[in-house]
Structure 1
Amino acid sequence: MAMEQVHRGPLFWPRRILVALHAAMAAALATVVALAGCTAMATSAKGQYVPQTRTYYIGADEVDWNYAPSGMNQVTGAAFDKTAAVFTQRGPRRIGATYVKALYREYTDASFTKLKPRSAAERHLGMLGPVIRGVVGDTIKVVFKNNLDRPASVHVHGVFYDKASEGAPYDDGTGAADHGDDAVPPGHSYIYSYKVPDRAGPGPMDGSSVMWMYHSHKDEVGDDYAGLVGPMVITKTGAARADGTPNDVDREFFVQFKVSNENASPYLKRNIDRFAGDPRSVAPADEEFVESNLMHSINGYVYGNLPLDALTMKKGERVRWYLMGMGTEVDLHTPHWHGNTATALGMRTDVVSLLPASMVVADMVPDDVGTWLFHCHVNDHLTAGMSVRYRVADAASTGSSDHSDHTP
């Protein structure tokens, strides 16, 4: 039988040989693809996030805090009117705008001799403690030093901890070994340890990060009004930068709305003695005096005194707002952004709702350049000074808005 031949250049190859060669090449190609896939999978495995231990050195410190350091209403650009003067003006029977507070502050190491400076991107935190960050899979350690004259603790929300790191004293059936965290004595230190499992990270309807809070739970009411509160952020694996920040966000803001009741602060008597014009004439139960000590604040500022450049962003940036509330039944807040909208809880909005100890994450891509009001829409809170301003700069601008820790 004559052999069928196919011309390939100067040579003639039998078709059956060509078919065999084709099959062999196909098999070899499949092997290469399979090996490449294995290599890619191995590379991906090597590139997966490696959990780490993130350590924070946080002290509880006494400070003098001024709720209105500029001495004027920054929202109106004018002097305090009669209503604002109730909360901000010192007098014979008035404390004024400055109070002794207890705040969480971050230090550089376990010696607690040097405060860690806050970056420009952290200036807006005001009275809030340092931001504690973690990524799902991490371990977070807080080395806590109590520099106060009374016991204090650190109690966190959301993450996983055992009884020795709960930071809250109550009859839980455990022994002395598990109570060192409950109330750290003055001048003493304690190391809290937390795991960050999946259930501490973003849920099915969340973005790349979620917010939790931490606060002292020794005297929960008094510690809260003293100022011992701070934010915590947990970012999902695969969405975090090396520092734990979400990699799909350009700028983050942490904002607490609270009627800080200085009448319930453990420092009330000290504040009267130090700041009232005539301490002996003060009647702590007097209705007008009590009202004057209800500081309707945002991050510890009233009447727009949170610095405007600390809440500045650029048009088109991916901005994440972490909002939190604390306090009593009067602390129902409705934060409202003028000029721009955000997405929160799966919907588009420009107003969100906060109850005490609630936390809401809102994402914004600002498109309206200008200086805008950001305030609580509860009328009484608005009148009493629960307002700040934020600024959206043009994307091409330089200057005060260039304080983000993240590169768009």
Structure 2
Amino acid sequence: MDDGTVDRHGHSRTGEHSRTGERRWPAVLALAGSAVVALAVIVVTTQLVSAADPAGGSAPAAASTGEGRTRTYYIAADHVTWDYAPAGRDAASDQPWDETSGVFTVAGPDRIGTRYLKSLYRQYTDDTFTTLVPRPAAWEHLGFLGPVVHVEVGDTLDVVFRNNLDRPVSVHMHGLQYDKGSEGAPYQDGTTDEQRGDDAVPPGATYTYHYTVPDRAGPGPMDGSSIMWMYHSHTDEVGDVYSGLMGPVIVTRKGMARPDGSPADVDRELVSVFSVEDENQSSDAAANLASLAQPPDPDDGDFVESNLMHDVNGYVYGNGPLGGAPGEGTTVQVGQHVRWYLMSMGNEVDLHTPHWHGNTVVANGMRTDVVSLLPAQMLTADMTPDDPGVWLFHCHVADHLTAGMVTRYQVLP
């Protein structure tokens, strides 16, 4: 994954491709016959209040202090069968699968199709992890991403994490401040074994991560009132992320947040992650391979190709929820202040150029309708829509577009 980008752990700073690569199938084939689909629950739990989140999410209980609030999240990582195309067709064109789209979507004896076992972060109501927090209509567009974590500069964040997966995983939070006991990344950092419980939480174990939100974690001088970071498992960063273990954390400038931590000057927040999801390298690849009636040849390039899902938030070919009213799916209204949080994740093929049809945005202080993303890069763009209609929102890399990296948004009068 050496694409020239650098992940600075603990610090922040201001200011026609080949679809093949390192694959897990040779090892997976040896395991496929005995693959066991184990239930996984990563739990970053969130104490919830009963009031609805004005931003469309579920607000955690937040104890106010002189320096900010303490927010506690309960999030679980579950094994979930995920469908990249629940409509069963190209929803953007309203057409059945054709020769091109069928490469990635049509199931067969030696083809998985669009339904994969994934490991996903999901939000629970308390530390019993028995009741899921229903995902509000405003956040249905998140797809397989983990829940949005909202914080304000000056806050403290606690993430209670239990791993019910069949493998060790972790939570690694970008941007926020943490000590070595909450980094969630295994490497030789001079700490003792007793200080590495955060790096790879064993199956069935619980671990609490602690974070603070200083000024340097929040919006910079040229940013708006909020920015997005991401969180993901870093135990096996490649396999865990491709299995689905990632989500957004949104930090609002001090004094500009609602009680739930969302930016008070924004009417609608939308999160979009563009990625070529390489299911060949997912940590759940063995279980997915075991579902096939006819074991494939691991050197079959066509099979490898079929497992590269060119998605936005886990949806291909416009299958993401559009919604019918403002605040549902990706539906907004003319004149609203809409903030888009964008991210790319993956390999050297994940150089994306998201493009909005119909309306423009301001990103990095410039007016545009196309932005550029490198792998693991995060970007914020503000839109005041003025053109009603249902509009395409897609990656403008030609190969990615034809392979399904397309979604839609709707602007109502």
Shift of 1:195: 0.5
Q: Does 1:304 align with 2:321?
A: no
After superposition, where does 1:78-97 map in structure 2 within 5 Å? 78-97=95-114
Q: Does 1:115 align with 2:132?
A: yes
Structure 2 Cα separation of the partners of residues 50 and 153 of structure 1:
28
Structure 1 Cα separation of the partners of residues 163 and 299 of structure 2:
31
In structure 2, the residue matched to 1:139 is: 156
Residue pair 1:49, 1:238 contacting (<8 A) in 2 also = no
* 3-state SS, counterpart of residue 112 of structure 2: coil
Residue pair 1:61, 1:147 contacting (<8 A) in 2 also = yes
After superposition, where does 1:221-240 map in structure 2 within 5 Å? 221-240=238-257
Shift of 1:270: 1.3
Shift of 1:50: 5.2
Give the counterpart of 1:352 among 361, 364, 371. 371
Q: Which has the higher contact order (CA 8 A, sep 6+)?
A: 2
Give the letter aligned to residue 387 of structure 1. V
In structure 1, the residue matched to 2:294 is: 279
Shift of 1:177: 2.7
Q: Does 1:322 align with 2:336?
A: no
After superposing on structure 2, the runs of 4+ consecutive aligned residues of structure 1 that deviate more than 6 Å are: none
Shift of 1:176: 2.1
Shift of 1:106: 0.5
Residue pair 1:62, 1:147 contacting (<8 A) in 2 also = no
Shift of 1:285: 2.2
Give the letter aligned to residue 335 of structure 1. P
Shift of 1:49: 7.4
Residue ranges of structure 2 left out of the alignment (5+ in a row): 1-63, 324-328
* 3-state SS, counterpart of residue 87 of structure 1: helix
Shift of 1:267: 1.7
In structure 1, the residue matched to 2:86 is: 69
Percent identical among aligned pairs is 63
Structure 2 Cα separation of the partners of residues 304 and 138 of structure 1:
37
Residue pair 1:311, 1:389 contacting (<8 A) in 2 also = yes
Give the letter aligned to residue 272 of structure 2. V
Aligned residue pair count: 345
Residue ranges of structure 1 left out of the alignment (5+ in a row): 1-46, 395-408
Query: Residue deviations 1:376-408, cap 9 Å, x none?
Result: 0000000000001110001xxxxxxxxxxxxxx
In structure 2, the residue matched to 1:33 is: none
In structure 2, the residue matched to 1:20 is: none
TM-score by length of 1: 0.83
Structure 2 Cα separation of the partners of residues 265 and 157 of structure 1:
21
User: Over the residues paired in the alignment, what is the CA RMSD in angstroms?
Assistant: 1.2
TM-score by length of 2: 0.82
Does the C-alpha gap of structure 1 residues 247 and 207 become closer, same or farther in structure 2, counting only changes over 3 Å?
same
Give the letter aligned to residue 349 of structure 2. V
Give the counterpart of 2:408 among 381, 389, 405. 389
Structure 2 Cα separation of the partners of residues 178 and 361 of structure 1:
35
Residue pair 1:164, 1:177 contacting (<8 A) in 2 also = no
Structure 1 Cα separation of the partners of residues 338 and 246 of structure 2:
23
Query: Residue deviations 1:286-308, cap 9 Å, x none?
Result: 10000000000000000000011
Structure 2 Cα separation of the partners of residues 268 and 83 of structure 1:
23
Query: Residue deviations 1:190-240, cap 9 Å, x none?
Result: 100001000001100000001100000000000010000000011011111
Query: Residue deviations 1:18-63, cap 9 Å, x none?
Result: xxxxxxxxxxxxxxxxxxxxxxxxxxxxx99750101100111111
Give the counterpart of 1:380 among 382, 395, 399. 399
